[in-house]
Structure 1
Amino acid sequence: MIYKAYPFRLYPNKDQQALIHQTHGHCRFVYNHFLSLWNTAYKEEGKGLNRSSMSKLLTKLKKQDETAWLRNVDSVALQTSCEQLVDAFGRFFKKQNNYPRFKSKKNAVQSYTTKNTNHNIAIVGNKIKLPKLGLVKFKQTRALEGRIMRATIHYHASGRFSVSITCEVPEFQPLPKTHQA
Protein backbone atom coordinates (compact mmCIF):
# COMPACT_ATOMS: atom_id res chain seq x y z
CA MET A 1 0.00 0.00 0.00
CA ILE A 2 1.13 3.53 -0.75
CA TYR A 3 -0.15 6.93 0.33
CA LYS A 4 -1.59 9.51 -2.03
CA ALA A 5 -2.61 13.06 -1.12
CA TYR A 6 -5.53 14.96 -2.63
CA PRO A 7 -5.56 18.75 -2.10
CA PHE A 8 -8.89 20.61 -2.11
CA ARG A 9 -10.02 24.17 -1.40
CA LEU A 10 -12.10 24.67 1.78
CA TYR A 11 -14.87 27.23 2.30
CA PRO A 12 -15.51 27.31 6.08
CA ASN A 13 -18.05 29.65 7.68
CA LYS A 14 -17.02 32.25 10.31
CA ASP A 15 -17.37 29.89 13.30
CA GLN A 16 -15.39 27.16 11.54
CA GLN A 17 -12.69 29.67 10.56
CA ALA A 18 -12.35 30.74 14.20
CA LEU A 19 -12.05 27.11 15.33
CA ILE A 20 -9.44 26.39 12.65
CA HIS A 21 -7.36 29.39 13.78
CA GLN A 22 -7.78 28.30 17.40
CA THR A 23 -6.61 24.76 16.56
CA HIS A 24 -3.58 26.13 14.70
CA GLY A 25 -2.63 28.16 17.77
CA HIS A 26 -3.14 25.27 20.19
CA CYS A 27 -1.08 22.87 18.05
CA ARG A 28 1.69 25.48 17.78
CA PHE A 29 1.61 25.93 21.58
CA VAL A 30 1.87 22.16 22.19
CA TYR A 31 4.74 21.80 19.69
CA ASN A 32 6.69 24.72 21.18
CA HIS A 33 5.97 23.60 24.77
CA PHE A 34 7.33 20.10 24.16
CA LEU A 35 10.30 21.42 22.17
CA SER A 36 11.17 23.54 25.22
CA LEU A 37 10.73 20.52 27.54
CA TRP A 38 12.90 18.43 25.20
CA ASN A 39 15.67 21.04 25.28
CA THR A 40 15.69 21.28 29.09
CA ALA A 41 15.53 17.47 29.51
CA TYR A 42 18.44 17.04 27.11
CA LYS A 43 20.55 19.62 28.97
CA GLU A 44 19.82 18.07 32.38
CA GLU A 45 19.76 14.32 31.67
CA GLY A 46 21.55 13.98 28.34
CA LYS A 47 18.53 12.48 26.56
CA GLY A 48 15.26 13.90 25.28
CA LEU A 49 11.64 12.84 25.56
CA ASN A 50 9.97 9.96 23.76
CA ARG A 51 6.52 9.65 22.23
CA SER A 52 4.86 7.90 25.18
CA SER A 53 6.19 10.33 27.79
CA MET A 54 5.02 13.27 25.67
CA SER A 55 1.58 11.72 25.39
CA LYS A 56 1.33 11.34 29.17
CA LEU A 57 2.53 14.91 29.70
CA LEU A 58 -0.03 16.18 27.18
CA THR A 59 -2.83 14.49 29.13
CA LYS A 60 -1.60 16.11 32.35
CA LEU A 61 -1.28 19.46 30.59
CA LYS A 62 -4.91 19.32 29.45
CA LYS A 63 -6.09 18.55 33.01
CA GLN A 64 -4.38 21.61 34.53
CA ASP A 65 -6.54 24.68 35.16
CA GLU A 66 -4.22 27.17 33.43
CA THR A 67 -4.14 25.11 30.21
CA ALA A 68 -7.71 23.77 30.28
CA TRP A 69 -8.37 25.68 27.03
CA LEU A 70 -6.51 22.88 25.20
CA ARG A 71 -9.68 20.76 25.56
CA ASN A 72 -11.60 23.02 23.13
CA VAL A 73 -9.92 21.62 20.00
CA ASP A 74 -9.39 18.24 18.36
CA SER A 75 -7.26 16.09 20.69
CA VAL A 76 -5.85 14.05 17.81
CA ALA A 77 -4.43 17.23 16.26
CA LEU A 78 -2.57 17.98 19.50
CA GLN A 79 -1.19 14.43 19.64
CA THR A 80 -0.09 14.75 16.02
CA SER A 81 1.90 17.88 16.94
CA CYS A 82 3.84 15.79 19.47
CA GLU A 83 4.41 13.07 16.87
CA GLN A 84 5.68 15.65 14.38
CA LEU A 85 8.20 16.86 16.96
CA VAL A 86 9.42 13.30 17.57
CA ASP A 87 9.74 12.80 13.80
CA ALA A 88 11.64 16.10 13.47
CA PHE A 89 14.16 14.95 16.07
CA GLY A 90 14.43 11.57 14.35
CA ARG A 91 15.31 13.29 11.07
CA PHE A 92 17.78 15.55 12.90
CA PHE A 93 19.61 12.62 14.48
CA LYS A 94 19.78 10.88 11.09
CA LYS A 95 21.38 14.10 9.76
CA GLN A 96 18.58 14.64 7.27
CA ASN A 97 17.39 18.00 8.70
CA ASN A 98 18.53 20.82 10.93
CA TYR A 99 17.64 21.02 14.63
CA PRO A 100 13.87 21.56 15.12
CA ARG A 101 12.89 25.21 15.55
CA PHE A 102 10.02 26.81 17.43
CA LYS A 103 6.90 27.40 15.33
CA SER A 104 5.89 30.99 14.71
CA LYS A 105 2.51 32.64 14.36
CA LYS A 106 4.00 34.73 11.55
CA ASN A 107 4.55 31.86 9.11
CA ALA A 108 2.79 32.35 5.79
CA VAL A 109 1.06 28.96 6.02
CA GLN A 110 -0.45 27.58 9.24
CA SER A 111 -1.51 23.94 9.32
CA TYR A 112 -2.56 21.08 11.55
CA THR A 113 -3.12 17.39 10.90
CA THR A 114 -5.81 15.09 12.25
CA LYS A 115 -6.18 11.35 11.77
CA ASN A 116 -9.21 9.37 10.65
CA THR A 117 -10.52 7.42 13.65
CA ASN A 118 -14.01 5.90 13.66
CA HIS A 119 -14.79 7.55 10.30
CA ASN A 120 -14.59 11.09 11.69
CA ILE A 121 -13.25 12.27 8.30
CA ALA A 122 -15.67 11.63 5.45
CA ILE A 123 -17.02 13.19 2.29
CA VAL A 124 -20.75 13.92 2.29
CA GLY A 125 -21.92 15.39 -0.99
CA ASN A 126 -20.11 18.69 -1.57
CA LYS A 127 -18.98 18.88 2.09
CA ILE A 128 -16.26 17.20 4.12
CA LYS A 129 -16.81 16.07 7.69
CA LEU A 130 -13.89 17.03 9.94
CA PRO A 131 -13.43 16.50 13.71
CA LYS A 132 -14.83 19.36 15.86
CA LEU A 133 -15.60 21.39 12.70
CA GLY A 134 -18.50 19.32 11.43
CA LEU A 135 -19.45 19.60 7.76
CA VAL A 136 -17.31 22.11 5.84
CA LYS A 137 -18.01 23.15 2.26
CA PHE A 138 -15.20 22.29 -0.14
CA LYS A 139 -14.44 22.13 -3.86
CA GLN A 140 -13.95 18.50 -4.83
CA THR A 141 -12.04 18.52 -8.11
CA ARG A 142 -11.57 14.75 -8.36
CA ALA A 143 -12.74 11.53 -6.75
CA LEU A 144 -10.81 9.97 -3.88
CA GLU A 145 -9.33 6.51 -4.23
CA GLY A 146 -8.68 4.20 -1.31
CA ARG A 147 -9.19 4.64 2.42
CA ILE A 148 -8.87 8.07 4.06
CA MET A 149 -6.00 8.09 6.58
CA ARG A 150 -5.61 11.74 7.64
CA ALA A 151 -6.43 15.31 6.73
CA THR A 152 -4.22 18.38 6.97
CA ILE A 153 -6.00 21.74 7.17
CA HIS A 154 -3.99 24.71 5.88
CA TYR A 155 -4.55 28.44 6.24
CA HIS A 156 -2.63 30.59 3.76
CA ALA A 157 -1.69 34.22 4.45
CA SER A 158 -3.82 35.24 1.47
CA GLY A 159 -6.92 34.17 3.44
CA ARG A 160 -7.50 30.84 1.68
CA PHE A 161 -8.23 27.59 3.47
CA SER A 162 -7.39 24.21 2.01
CA VAL A 163 -7.39 20.57 3.06
CA SER A 164 -5.04 17.83 1.95
CA ILE A 165 -6.56 14.38 2.36
CA THR A 166 -4.11 11.47 2.52
CA CYS A 167 -5.49 8.13 1.32
CA GLU A 168 -4.07 4.64 1.38
CA VAL A 169 -4.24 3.18 -2.14
CA PRO A 170 -3.02 -0.16 -3.50
CA GLU A 171 0.33 -0.13 -5.29
CA PHE A 172 0.31 0.49 -8.99
CA GLN A 173 0.78 -2.57 -11.17
CA PRO A 174 3.48 -2.05 -13.81
CA LEU A 175 2.37 -2.29 -17.41
CA PRO A 176 3.65 -5.23 -19.46
CA LYS A 177 6.77 -4.50 -21.55
CA THR A 178 6.16 -4.32 -25.30
CA HIS A 179 9.81 -3.74 -26.31
CA GLN A 180 8.68 -1.00 -28.69
CA ALA A 181 9.27 2.73 -28.65
Structure 2
Amino acid sequence: MGLWRVFYAGWQMECCGTPFSVGDDVSWQLLLVPGEEPASRLTGPAGHVAGATDGIRVVQEAGLTVALSEDPEPRSAGAGPADPGPVRRSGLLSVETHGGAWPEVTGRVRSLHIVVQDLARGADGTWEPVPGTRTLRETDRCPKWFRGREFGTDTGRRRRDEQGVLVGLEVPS
Protein backbone atom coordinates (compact mmCIF):
# COMPACT_ATOMS: atom_id res chain seq x y z
CA MET A 1 0.00 0.00 0.00
CA GLY A 2 1.14 3.51 -0.77
CA LEU A 3 -0.27 6.74 0.63
CA TRP A 4 -0.28 9.58 -1.92
CA ARG A 5 -1.28 13.24 -1.64
CA VAL A 6 -3.72 14.14 -4.40
CA PHE A 7 -5.23 17.56 -5.11
CA TYR A 8 -8.83 17.73 -6.36
CA ALA A 9 -9.40 21.28 -7.68
CA GLY A 10 -12.65 22.92 -6.63
CA TRP A 11 -13.62 23.83 -10.20
CA GLN A 12 -13.20 20.19 -11.28
CA MET A 13 -15.46 19.03 -8.41
CA GLU A 14 -18.06 21.74 -9.06
CA CYS A 15 -18.19 20.91 -12.77
CA CYS A 16 -18.07 17.15 -12.96
CA GLY A 17 -17.26 15.65 -9.57
CA THR A 18 -19.12 13.56 -7.05
CA PRO A 19 -18.44 14.43 -3.38
CA PHE A 20 -16.77 11.73 -1.28
CA SER A 21 -15.83 11.14 2.35
CA VAL A 22 -12.92 9.77 4.37
CA GLY A 23 -13.12 5.98 4.10
CA ASP A 24 -14.68 5.97 0.61
CA ASP A 25 -13.18 4.05 -2.29
CA VAL A 26 -12.68 6.31 -5.32
CA SER A 27 -11.37 5.96 -8.89
CA TRP A 28 -9.82 8.96 -10.64
CA GLN A 29 -7.59 9.84 -13.59
CA LEU A 30 -4.46 11.46 -12.16
CA LEU A 31 -2.21 14.04 -13.80
CA LEU A 32 1.27 15.03 -12.59
CA VAL A 33 1.63 18.83 -12.59
CA PRO A 34 5.35 19.74 -12.35
CA GLY A 35 6.57 22.45 -10.02
CA GLU A 36 3.51 22.45 -7.75
CA GLU A 37 3.48 21.63 -4.05
CA PRO A 38 3.02 19.35 -2.22
CA ALA A 39 5.14 17.36 -4.62
CA SER A 40 5.16 13.61 -5.12
CA ARG A 41 8.08 11.90 -6.80
CA LEU A 42 7.46 9.22 -9.40
CA THR A 43 10.00 6.94 -11.07
CA GLY A 44 8.85 4.42 -13.60
CA PRO A 45 8.50 3.64 -17.27
CA ALA A 46 6.93 6.40 -19.34
CA GLY A 47 4.93 5.31 -22.30
CA HIS A 48 1.52 4.58 -23.65
CA VAL A 49 -0.69 2.02 -21.92
CA ALA A 50 -3.94 0.36 -22.89
CA GLY A 51 -6.79 2.81 -22.44
CA ALA A 52 -4.68 5.95 -22.90
CA THR A 53 -5.72 8.45 -25.56
CA ASP A 54 -3.15 8.63 -28.34
CA GLY A 55 -0.46 11.15 -27.46
CA ILE A 56 -0.88 10.97 -23.67
CA ARG A 57 2.12 9.49 -21.94
CA VAL A 58 1.89 7.99 -18.50
CA VAL A 59 4.20 6.84 -15.72
CA GLN A 60 3.35 3.71 -13.79
CA GLU A 61 4.63 3.22 -10.25
CA ALA A 62 3.40 1.38 -7.15
CA GLY A 63 -0.24 1.00 -8.20
CA LEU A 64 -0.46 4.39 -9.89
CA THR A 65 -0.92 5.21 -13.56
CA VAL A 66 -0.35 8.96 -13.86
CA ALA A 67 -0.50 11.08 -17.01
CA LEU A 68 2.34 13.51 -17.56
CA SER A 69 1.35 17.10 -18.24
CA GLU A 70 4.53 17.46 -20.26
CA ASP A 71 6.27 14.89 -22.44
CA PRO A 72 9.38 13.61 -20.63
CA GLU A 73 11.17 13.02 -23.93
CA PRO A 74 10.10 15.51 -26.60
CA ARG A 75 10.54 14.10 -30.10
CA SER A 76 11.25 15.86 -33.34
CA ALA A 77 8.70 15.63 -36.13
CA GLY A 78 8.84 12.29 -37.90
CA ALA A 79 10.84 10.59 -35.14
CA GLY A 80 9.73 7.21 -33.83
CA PRO A 81 8.22 6.67 -30.39
CA ALA A 82 10.25 7.73 -27.37
CA ASP A 83 12.05 5.11 -25.30
CA PRO A 84 9.61 3.83 -22.67
CA GLY A 85 12.42 3.52 -20.11
CA PRO A 86 12.22 4.91 -16.58
CA VAL A 87 11.74 8.63 -16.03
CA ARG A 88 11.88 10.61 -12.80
CA ARG A 89 9.33 13.37 -12.31
CA SER A 90 8.03 15.30 -9.36
CA GLY A 91 4.98 17.47 -9.02
CA LEU A 92 1.48 17.63 -7.69
CA LEU A 93 -0.77 14.63 -8.29
CA SER A 94 -4.05 16.16 -9.44
CA VAL A 95 -7.45 14.70 -10.36
CA GLU A 96 -8.17 15.37 -14.05
CA THR A 97 -11.71 15.17 -15.39
CA HIS A 98 -11.29 17.23 -18.58
CA GLY A 99 -8.24 15.77 -20.34
CA GLY A 100 -7.94 12.75 -22.55
CA ALA A 101 -8.47 9.20 -21.41
CA TRP A 102 -6.05 7.01 -19.47
CA PRO A 103 -6.55 4.35 -16.79
CA GLU A 104 -7.96 5.47 -13.46
CA VAL A 105 -6.27 4.96 -10.10
CA THR A 106 -8.44 3.33 -7.45
CA GLY A 107 -7.81 3.83 -3.77
CA ARG A 108 -9.32 4.63 -0.39
CA VAL A 109 -9.59 8.17 1.00
CA ARG A 110 -7.66 8.20 4.30
CA SER A 111 -7.56 11.96 4.99
CA LEU A 112 -9.14 15.09 3.59
CA HIS A 113 -8.26 18.79 3.91
CA ILE A 114 -9.85 21.82 2.28
CA VAL A 115 -7.13 24.02 0.72
CA VAL A 116 -7.70 27.72 1.46
CA GLN A 117 -5.68 30.46 -0.29
CA ASP A 118 -5.66 34.26 -0.04
CA LEU A 119 -5.59 36.12 -3.36
CA ALA A 120 -4.76 39.75 -4.17
CA ARG A 121 -5.25 41.78 -7.35
CA GLY A 122 -2.19 41.72 -9.57
CA ALA A 123 -1.00 44.58 -11.76
CA ASP A 124 -3.11 43.25 -14.65
CA GLY A 125 -6.25 43.07 -12.47
CA THR A 126 -6.33 39.30 -12.09
CA TRP A 127 -6.41 37.57 -8.70
CA GLU A 128 -3.01 36.10 -7.76
CA PRO A 129 -2.04 33.89 -4.78
CA VAL A 130 -0.55 35.72 -1.79
CA PRO A 131 2.62 33.85 -0.74
CA GLY A 132 2.50 32.28 2.72
CA THR A 133 -1.30 32.38 3.08
CA ARG A 134 -2.24 28.83 2.02
CA THR A 135 -3.81 26.83 4.84
CA LEU A 136 -5.39 23.41 5.23
CA ARG A 137 -8.63 22.79 7.11
CA GLU A 138 -9.37 19.18 8.04
CA THR A 139 -12.77 17.80 7.06
CA ASP A 140 -14.38 14.39 6.71
CA ARG A 141 -16.37 15.12 3.50
CA CYS A 142 -15.49 16.89 0.24
CA PRO A 143 -17.98 19.65 -0.57
CA LYS A 144 -19.61 19.90 -3.99
CA TRP A 145 -19.34 23.72 -3.91
CA PHE A 146 -16.40 25.77 -2.63
CA ARG A 147 -16.66 29.15 -0.92
CA GLY A 148 -14.80 32.41 -1.31
CA ARG A 149 -15.16 35.90 0.07
CA GLU A 150 -13.61 39.33 -0.36
CA PHE A 151 -12.24 41.32 2.55
CA GLY A 152 -10.21 44.46 3.09
CA THR A 153 -6.65 44.75 4.41
CA ASP A 154 -4.21 47.62 4.95
CA THR A 155 -2.83 46.89 1.48
CA GLY A 156 -6.15 46.64 -0.37
CA ARG A 157 -8.82 44.11 -1.23
CA ARG A 158 -8.20 40.39 -0.97
CA ARG A 159 -10.12 37.18 -1.54
CA ARG A 160 -9.96 34.08 0.63
CA ASP A 161 -10.96 31.12 -1.54
CA GLU A 162 -11.38 27.43 -0.94
CA GLN A 163 -9.31 26.11 -3.84
CA GLY A 164 -10.16 22.40 -3.57
CA VAL A 165 -9.24 19.46 -1.37
CA LEU A 166 -5.98 17.69 -0.58
CA VAL A 167 -6.68 13.97 -0.28
CA GLY A 168 -4.57 11.31 1.43
CA LEU A 169 -5.21 8.45 -1.02
CA GLU A 170 -4.18 4.92 -0.07
CA VAL A 171 -3.47 2.89 -3.21
CA PRO A 172 -2.73 -0.84 -3.32
CA SER A 173 0.66 -1.56 -4.90
* TM-score scaled by length of structure 2: 0.26
* TM-score scaled by length of structure 1: 0.25
The structure with more strand, counted as a fraction of residues: 2
Q: Whose Rg is larger?
A: 1
The structure with more helix, counted as a fraction of residues: 1
